[in-house]
Amino acid sequence: MDLHPNLTPVAELVGTWRGPGRGEYPTIEPFEYTEELTFTNVGKPFLVYLQRTWSPAGAPMHMESGFLRVPSPDVVEFTIAQPTGQSELAEGRITGSGADFTLNLRSQILNSGTAKHVEETERNYRRSGDTITVDFSMAAVGEPMTHHLSSTLRRT
Ligand code: HEM
């Protein structure tokens, strides 16, 4: 299926990526996980996104899903649904091209009535060589913008 021309700047995301991650936050104990990302071309001007993570023992951890749009060549919009009661609207810029580019996104969050409160997030996806490196920070539960997650993923 042809990729919609809007998605040319992020064509090198399409596929399934897997690798190790590490998490931290001032209010919790550090932890490790395995992450899998898929970006799927459905022939429309967006990619379908699914993320799943597992503990070192193989138990399911966080997962999230969404849609990634590129409305103009250096602009990226990423709508993400969280199972923890947040919906995340991430917007930002694409710098670089081909298989060597970075998405820098900052998000507005809607929290459900019972969710742990997340004020704002920053996401960085670095596509380089044969990897995607993901970094995630958040202002949440009363803490200022602080690093929560890092992972490095390779195509499966
Ligand atoms: C790779 C994906 C992720 C993993 C593996 C992960 C893992 C964890 C773990 C193990 C904890 C501590 C235990 C707990 O409260 O459940 C935690 C806490 C938390 N995470 Fe994440 N998380 C991920 C993504 C996210 C995302 C995308 C958000 C926000 C949209 C988020 C927001 C939070 C919050 C608000 C807490 C609570 C901190 C507290 O209670 O002090 N996490 N996460």
Closest to 49 in 3D by CA, of 102, 7, 111: 7
CB of 137 closer than 8 Å to CB of 145: yes
Domains and CATH numbers, the chain: 5-155 (2.40.128.20)
pLDDT of residue 116: 98
Smallest CA separation from ligand 1 atom 22, residue: 62
Instruction: Indicate yes or no: pTM above 0.95.
Output: yes
**Regions of the chain with pLDDT less than 50:** none
pLDDT of residue 5: 98
CB of 61 closer than 8 Å to CB of 84: no
- Measured from the Cα of 138, ligand 1's closest atom is 29
pLDDT tens-digit series, residues 72-86: 999 999 999 999 999
The alpha carbon of 108 and the centre of ligand 1 are apart by a number of angstroms equal to 17
Beta bridge mates, 142 = none
pLDDT of residue 142: 98
pLDDT of residue 31: 98
Residue 120, phi-psi category: left (phi > 0), alpha (psi -120 to 50), beta (remainder)? beta
